[in-house]
Every structure is written in C-alpha cells, then in structure tokens.
Structure 1
C-alpha cells in the first residue's frame, strides 16, 4: 500500500490551561489513502471536528505528528502549499460566506489568492461543476437556499484545485432531501477530480453513503475502526459503536 496522503499520529488537542485545561483529542492515530473517503463519526463533543480543525491549523494548542502529502505540519500556521492541497468545507454554509459578497466575488477572491489565472472562465466552470450555473454568479448569500449556499462553499473549496477536502458535517444544517443532493455531488466530484475526503459526521447514514472506511470517536479517542461494509452488516465489535448503530436511522433505513 502506498503512503497515505494524510497521516496523523498521537494527535492531542487541548483548550485552556491547568487547572481548567480541557483535553478534547487524546492520542488519535489515522491514515487516509489518496483517493479514498474516510469518515470520523461520534456524538457531539467526541472530538471529531477538533481533529479537522487541528489539521487545518484552526486549533492553536496541539501536539503529535500530522503530515499531508509528505509535508509535516507544526503549530497553527499552514504554508501556501498546504492551502493549495487542503481545503475545508464547514457545517454552516451561511456563516462561512460573507453576507455582502456576491458569489462572483467570493470565488474571484479565492482564485486570486490561490494564484490562478483566467478567473472568469474558472468561475463559470466551478459553478457548473457544483450544479449551479452562471445564473447564480452575481447573487448574494441571502438570495440562495441552504443547499445552494453549500454548493458555493464547495466551489470555493475547489477553486485552488486541492487534493484533500476536510468536510465538517457538510450536510447537517440542510433538509434531508437536500442532504442527499449534496452527498451525491460530493461523490461525483471525488470521482471526477480524484479527490480525497476526511469527513466528520454524527450521522452514520451520511458516512455510509460517502465513505469506505471510518473511525468511531468517543471522549476524544478513537474507540473503533470499521469498513463501511462492516457497518452495513452490523459487524461492529465495540459496544459504543453498536450503541451508535442502534440509535441511528442508518440501521432502520
């Protein structure tokens, strides 16, 4: 097996200082192979989103080893090369878009920051790729539905032609019918662009739809690892994982 595009070893993330320090992630190890979609699942407060934030450079206090495409990361600063390779899609598509910037400006600024040329053509292509089209180019976020805003957020993440997307609950703020549309879009984009995903969700059905492998987090630690085929067959050995399956709509689907 080739070296993973993302390698995480003994990741620890904390907030605050003793005696009030909170250890949010405790010794997480994972590897994501190039081209795969890997899921992190767990209940609220399990530390799964904090793992993504540490990788992205949004968690100032962490230790361990994180490497992306051979680049070992340190501290909370990320190199321009990292931001070309890795982008993040957040849970709330409205909060992640500037309310007074048109879709055109959002994408143009991102393309410019990534050093891209032929901005006009690239904007049109990005909108087409996420299923919006040029008619949405000069709209503001408040003129878009939740699903349309998330499509813009995905287009922005794709602007620099990254290799790895960090997906933090990208469908949880959307209606169920729209969730399926966004998951299908992400599936198609991964196939078309050869993308790699690390996706966080509390919803096993979402992980089962998009991912091949997953890790289950509880209280800041990984407590189980599964192939999605095992998840579908209910072959989980860990008691907490069995609890998640029993409590989810995934089992009843």
Structure 2
C-alpha cells in the first residue's frame, strides 16, 4: 500500500537548509498498521506530510498503491485513496462550519453521491450519531471533535489513513476511546494505517510493525512484539523503550 525508499525531506536553501528526513525507507502492506516513533523533531510527521502533499521539497521514491508520486501534486484519485487525521482536532476543523458542512464539503470534493445518507453513515461509524450533525466545533468535546475529523477522513472510503498523533491532544480517558474506535474501523473497513506517535504504549496497542527514527533517520524497523519485550537491536531503540515508562499493555 505504501513504499518509501531513499526519502530525503528538507526545508529552506543552503546555507540555511535543514535536512528533516534522510534516506528513509520502509514498506507498509495492505491492511497493516505501521508506526513511526522517535523523539520530537525526528522527522516522523514530516514523512506523512510529504506523502500527503503538504511538503514539496523532497526526493526519493514514494509509492501509494503502486502509483509513484511526484512533488506535491496529488490528483483526485490520490485523495480517494489516502486521507490524513491531524493531531489537534480543533485546529483541523473550521470553527464556523457545522459538522454537517464539514462532512458535506468533504463528500462533495470526493465526488460522492447520496451525500445526505452518507453523512449519517459516517457519523454512525465514528459513534456520534445524527444528533451531532448540526453542531459546531465549540459545542463538542475534544474527543468528539476528533471523531468528526476521523469521519471526514473516512467520507470518501479511503484505503490508507495517515494518523499524526491522533490522540496526543486528548485526555487519557478519551485517548483509549479514540484508539479503540480506530482499531474497530480498521477491521470493519479493511484500512491500512501509518501512525505517528511519541507514545510507545499507543504504538504497542495499535501497530503490527514500527520504524524508530532519530535525527531524521530510520535506525530500526521492528515487529511490535519486539517492542513489547524491549528487544530493540539498536542502543537508541533500547534507550527509548527504557525511557518510556509503562509502554507495555496491561
């Protein structure tokens, strides 16, 4: 579903150029949930933004469902295949647009038919129901706003979701609800996930495999079982695991 090979991403121009991602490489199979972990500034979110077309200063190879991407141009079919859920559920929603307006716009842009029925369906899918349809973001809790953001991402029936710290801005009790929702949606819709998180417990719960990043480079790709057992091959990975108290699921 996703192939990243020899990916470099940078910002600015010499002599002030900053190399944010350096020679990253990994693959994600259809139906897999793949994690990207590492300290802040290691390049995790930058990879997702390059994939989705929010950054155009990159080189290397990015392929989605066998289609090679070029620069920041993404056509209509790409966004029918790939959607992204961002970290801050309030900032990613227009404060003056109702839930209905947000979902209607997404469905219209995706060229979907029977929009009214589809809005009710995606709201049911994310556990909100039709009673939330005409509410505004300020009338919703953080968890409810993130459910709307997930509903918007699901509106066009994508196959790949890029999840950029989707629960880090939420209370701990709400985080579990959103993670369980994402797990259920993946099973129900056959979705593929690429999830960025600094929380190893989240990755351990959600992912099958993961890549560990440091200073823009992938230092190790490992199975989640190795993460749970603290068996990283690289010193940095083992130190990261030790520094993350309670990374294992109870």
In structure 2, stretches of 5+ residues that fail to align are none
Return the TM-score normalized by structure 1: 0.97
Tell me, yes or no, if structure 1 residue 62 matches structure 2 residue 58: yes
The answer for the alignment partner of 1:217 in structure 2 is 213
The correspondence for 2:69, drawn from 65, 69, 73, is 73
Query: Is the alpha carbon distance of 1:115 and 1:225 closer, same or farther for their aligned partners in structure 2, counting shifts above 3 Å?
Result: same
| Alpha-carbon distance, 1:222 to partner | 0.3
What CA RMSD, in Å, does the superposition of the two structures yield over aligned residues? Answer: 0.8
Contact 2:58/2:71 (CA < 8 Å) preserved in 1? yes
Q: 1:7 aligns with which of 3, 8, 28?
A: 3
What CA distance in whole angstroms lies between the structure 2 residues aligned with 1:124 and 1:177? 26
CA deviation vs aligned residue, 1:51-86 (integer Å, no higher than 9, x gap): 000000011200000010111000111011100000
Q: Distance in 1 between matches of 2:231 and 2:19?
A: 30
Give the length in aligned residue pairs: 249
Q: 1:70 to 1:251 in 2, by over 3 A?
A: closer
Equivalent residue, structure 2, for 1:239: 235
Q: Which structure 1 segments of 5+ residues have no match?
A: none
Alignment of 1:128-143 (within 5 A): 128-143=124-139
Give the 4+ runs in structure 1 shifted more than 2 A.
249-253
2:10/2:17 contact within 8 Å kept: yes
1:234 Cα deviation (Å)?
A: 1.3
What TM-score does the superposition give when structure 2 sets the normalisation length? 0.98
Report 1:92-111 matches (<5 A): 92-111=88-107
User: Could you give the per-residue CA deviations for residues 133-157 of structure 1, whole angstroms, max 9, x where no partner exists?
Assistant: 0010000000000000000000000
**1:249: Cα distance to partner?**
2.7
